[in-house]
């Protein structure tokens, strides 16, 4: 696991454990919106990148199948 991701997870765990998820601690965090994981999360919660036709759904299915073989 990349060090940056581990640190982010540890920070989130601490915020949730201390019941500070919606407190000032979370609001002071500056996000780099260009980080791939943040962009992916924004796209997911904004319902972007949802397949809109059968061709795109098949393309994504092939990608998922290839990824399963790698793991």
Q: Give tens-digit pLDDT for 21-56.
A: 666 555 556 677 788 888 888 877 887 767 678 887
Domain boundaries, the chain: 1-30, 32-71
Provide the token pair at 59. 């393309």
Asked whether the beta carbons of 32 and 38 are under 8 A apart, the reply is: yes
Q: What's the sign of the alpha-carbon dihedral 9, 11, 17, 21?
A: negative
Q: Give tens-digit pLDDT for 11-20.
A: 888 888 887 7
Global confidence as pTM: 0.33
- Output the CA–CA distances (angstroms, integers) from residue 37 to 1, 23, 42, 61, in the order listed: 13, 23, 9, 21
């Amino acid at each position: 696991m990349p060090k940056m991701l581990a640190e982010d997870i540890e920070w989130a765990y601490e915020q949730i454990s201390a019941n500070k998820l919606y407190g000032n601690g979370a609001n002071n965090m500056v996000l780099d919106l260009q980080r791939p994981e943040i962009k992916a999360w924004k796209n997911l919660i904004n319902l972007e990148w949802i397949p809109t036709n059968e061709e795109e759904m098949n393309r994504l299915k092939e990608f998922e199948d290839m990824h399963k073989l790698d793991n």
